[in-house]
């Protein structure tokens, strides 16, 4: 690009497109660039000056911020162009002095060279589990200080927001000069996935990538499910597959060796992110506990599993099994692996699934039938309870729900093991039922 998209050339003059108007290019306003452009400027200035010019870290900015008294709830007025208290745009960089520096707070966000990572004690909030965690990947750099339009918690001194380095915001930068050896953490650094549930399922799905022996001698569960399902799918009916509740993606990637296209859907973006990274050719590193505070590192690669060649057939996406998109239809196979006893309304899911499967298509369900009220209201359990005083098993509940539009082809037990530590594992037996949609 020759110039930013919000610059305009008209009648031989440069204009800038702002929120409310187009104005002559204001050369005393802060630049608005992405992080890569800011880093490129630092590299250019370093080459010109011979000094080690860098973007500041989050800690550098925080040291500056500590010199500005007060915070958003107590400002009257705000000490800078922030909180929509002054302008509906940026303004000259010398308009708001804050001690020895200008614009420590407000005007535009300030890129740092710090990739966002959790502080010690970080916990996922159950009402928004996918807000922060997907950014803990080394690819999202922190922006600090807020902009003219930042209000609420965005204007707080403690605010931590991060974006991919090629993204644009109302964000500029300042530079610092440091001794050499303090350069930034780079995207090429080996970052280990540490989210406990994600690492547990990465190990569950991909333990064999590193040549690790099968835990307790139990074969890889996602692969075993695919191998048990495919004999029921005719060779001429292998166009589209839906893996609903795909978790970190192993079964979807295995199905991609047999189908032209696989939609892989999970409620959790944290899980899907791992599948996408593998699909893009990355080697994914994670840590699993051995005992106490001790851990061991693992690495997953689709090349080592022989899954890389067909990985591009998979489309990972976040979604709710009980509220699928209308476009999620026309499948020759729907695979619901260990899903139904974790849905808030499994009947709603099963009632609508036949319309998403082609006549003669296959529905494969696995589940250990572990019904818990923390996931599914008791009244919506498919089985594992008494109905009219008589015991109702989940197999009976499935037959009652699916029997009208599906024919049961087979049922079989498939064991699986989820590793907790080197000496503690969950050993479970799921039942797989395979159904064919009636014509």
Would you write out the chain's pLDDT as a tens digit for each of its 439 residues?
788 999 999 999 999 999 999 999 999 999 999 999 999 999 999 999 999 999 999 999 999 999 999 999 999 999 999 999 999 999 999 999 999 999 999 999 999 999 998 887 777 776 776 788 778 878 899 999 999 999 999 999 999 999 999 999 999 999 999 887 655 444 434 444 558 899 999 999 999 886 778 889 999 999 999 999 999 999 999 999 999 999 999 999 999 999 999 999 999 888 999 999 999 998 888 888 999 988 888 889 999 999 999 999 999 999 999 999 998 999 999 999 999 999 999 999 999 999 999 999 999 999 999 999 999 999 999 999 999 999 999 999 999 999 999 999 999 999 999 999 999 999 999 999 999 999 8
The CATH number of the domain holding residue 374 is 3.40.50.150
Identify whether residues 170 and 211 lie together within a single domain.
Answer: no
Domain-terminating residue out of 154, 177, 200: 177
Identify whether residues 171 and 241 lie together within a single domain.
Answer: no
Identify whether residues 31 and 164 lie together within a single domain.
Answer: yes
- Cis previous bond, 88, omega within 30: no
Asked if 365 and 336 touch (Cβ cutoff 8 Å), the reply is yes
In a domain, 299, yes or no: yes
Residue 67, Cα to own-chain centre: how many angstroms?
A: 36
Q: Rounded distance, CA 262 to CA 241, Å?
A: 5
Model pTM score: 0.61
Identify whether residues 361 and 426 lie together within a single domain.
Answer: yes
Identify whether residues 156 and 93 lie together within a single domain.
Answer: yes
Identify whether residues 135 and 278 lie together within a single domain.
Answer: no
Domain-terminating residue out of 152, 177, 202: 177
Asked if 253 and 273 touch (Cβ cutoff 8 Å), the reply is no
Identify whether residues 156 and 301 lie together within a single domain.
Answer: no
In a domain, 337, yes or no: yes
Q: Rounded distance, CA 339 to CA 324, Å?
A: 14
In a domain, 184, yes or no: no
Per the structure block, which two tokens stand in for 417?
């093991």
Identify whether residues 382 and 251 lie together within a single domain.
Answer: yes
Asked if 146 and 158 touch (Cβ cutoff 8 Å), the reply is no
Quote the radius of gyration of the chain (alpha carbons, Å): 27
In a domain, 242, yes or no: yes
What confidence score (pLDDT) does residue 189 get? 41
Exposed/middle/buried for 144, CB within 10 Å: 0-12, 13-18, 19+? Answer: buried
Identify whether residues 172 and 196 lie together within a single domain.
Answer: no
Q: How far is CA 333 from CA 34, 249, 316, 368, in A?
A: 43, 16, 16, 21
Q: How far is CA 126 from CA 120, 129, 195, 202, 328, in A?
A: 18, 5, 14, 21, 27
> How many domains are contained in the chain?
2
Q: Range of 152's domain?
A: 7-177
Identify whether residues 214 and 163 lie together within a single domain.
Answer: no
Q: Rounded distance, CA 377 to CA 415, Å?
A: 26
Identify whether residues 288 and 391 lie together within a single domain.
Answer: yes
In a domain, 2, yes or no: no
Residue 291, Cα to own-chain centre: how many angstroms?
A: 28
In a domain, 433, yes or no: yes
Is the Cα dihedral 148, 152, 154, 159 positive or negative?
A: positive
Identify whether residues 197 and 342 lie together within a single domain.
Answer: yes
Q: How far is CA 101 from CA 96, 144, 147, 162, in A?
A: 9, 15, 16, 23
In a domain, 187, yes or no: no
Domain-terminating residue out of 177, 212, 239: 177
Asked if 71 and 43 touch (Cβ cutoff 8 Å), the reply is no
What confidence score (pLDDT) does residue 184 get? 45
In a domain, 315, yes or no: yes
The CATH number of the domain holding residue 49 is 3.90.1580.10
Asked if 262 and 356 touch (Cβ cutoff 8 Å), the reply is no
User: Buried (b) or exposed (e) across 397-414, using 16+ Cβ within 10 A?
Assistant: bbeebbeebbeeeeeeeb
* C-alpha torsion 115→187→267→122, nearest 10: -30
Listed in sequence order, the residues at least 6 apart from 173 whose beta carbon sits closer than 8 Å to its beta carbon are 31, 33, 35, 38, 41, 55, 110, 111
What confidence score (pLDDT) does residue 44 get? 97
């Amino acid at each position: 690009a020759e110039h930013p998209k919000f610059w305009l050339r008209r009648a031989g003059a440069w204009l800038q497109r702002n929120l409310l108007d187009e104005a002559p290019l204001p050369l005393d306003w802060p630049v608005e660039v992405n992080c890569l452009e800011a880093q490129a400027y630092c590299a250019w200035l370093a080459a010109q000056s011979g000094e080690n010019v860098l973007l500041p870290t989050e800690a550098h900015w925080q040291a500056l911020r500590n010199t500005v008294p007060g915070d958003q709830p107590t400002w009257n007025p705000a000490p800078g162009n922030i909180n929509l208290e002054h302008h509906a745009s940026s303004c000259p960089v010398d308009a708001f002095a804050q001690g020895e520096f200008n614009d420590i707070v407000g005007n535009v966000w300030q890129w740092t060279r710090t990739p966002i990572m959790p502080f010690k004690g970080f916990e996922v909030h159950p009402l928004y589990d996918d807000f922060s965690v997907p950014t803990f990947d080394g690819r999202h750099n922190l922006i600090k200080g807020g902009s003219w339009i930042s209000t609420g918690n965005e204007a707080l001194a403690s605010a931590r927001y991060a974006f991919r380095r090629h993204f644009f915001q109302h964000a500029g930068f300042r530079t610092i000069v440091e001794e050499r050896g303090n350069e930034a953490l780079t995207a090429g650094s080996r970052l280990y996935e540490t989210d406990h549930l994600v690492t547990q399922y990465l190990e569950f799905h991909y333990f064999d990538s590193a040549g690790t022996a099968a835990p307790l001698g139990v074969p890889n569960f996602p692969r075993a499910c695919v191998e048990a399902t495919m004999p029921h799918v005719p060779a001429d009916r292998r166009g589209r597959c839906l893996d609903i509740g795909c978790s970190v993606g192993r079964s979807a990637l295995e199905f991609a060796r047999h189908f032209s296209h696989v939609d892989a859907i999970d409620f959790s973006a944290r899980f899907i992110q791992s599948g996408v990274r593998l699909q893009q050719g990355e080697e994914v590193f994670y840590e699993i506990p051995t005992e106490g505070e001790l851990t061991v590192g693992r690495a997953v690669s689709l090349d080592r599993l022989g899954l890389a060649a067909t990985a591009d057939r998979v489309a990972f996406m976040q979604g709710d099994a009980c509220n699928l998109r209308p476009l999620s239809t026309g499948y020759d196979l729907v695979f619901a692996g260990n899903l139904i006893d974790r849905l808030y309304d499994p009947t709603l899911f099963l009632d609508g699934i036949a319309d998403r499967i082609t006549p003669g298509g296959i529905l494969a369900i696995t589940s250990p039938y572990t019904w818990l009220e923390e996931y599914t209201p008791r009244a919506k359990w498919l089985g594992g309870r008494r109905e009219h005083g008589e015991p109702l098993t989940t197999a009976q509940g499935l037959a009652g729900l699916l029997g009208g539009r599906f024919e049961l082809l087979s049922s079989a037990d498939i064991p699986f093991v989820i590793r907790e530590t080197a000496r503690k594992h969950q050993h479970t037996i799921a039942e797989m039922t395979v159904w064919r949609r009636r014509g």
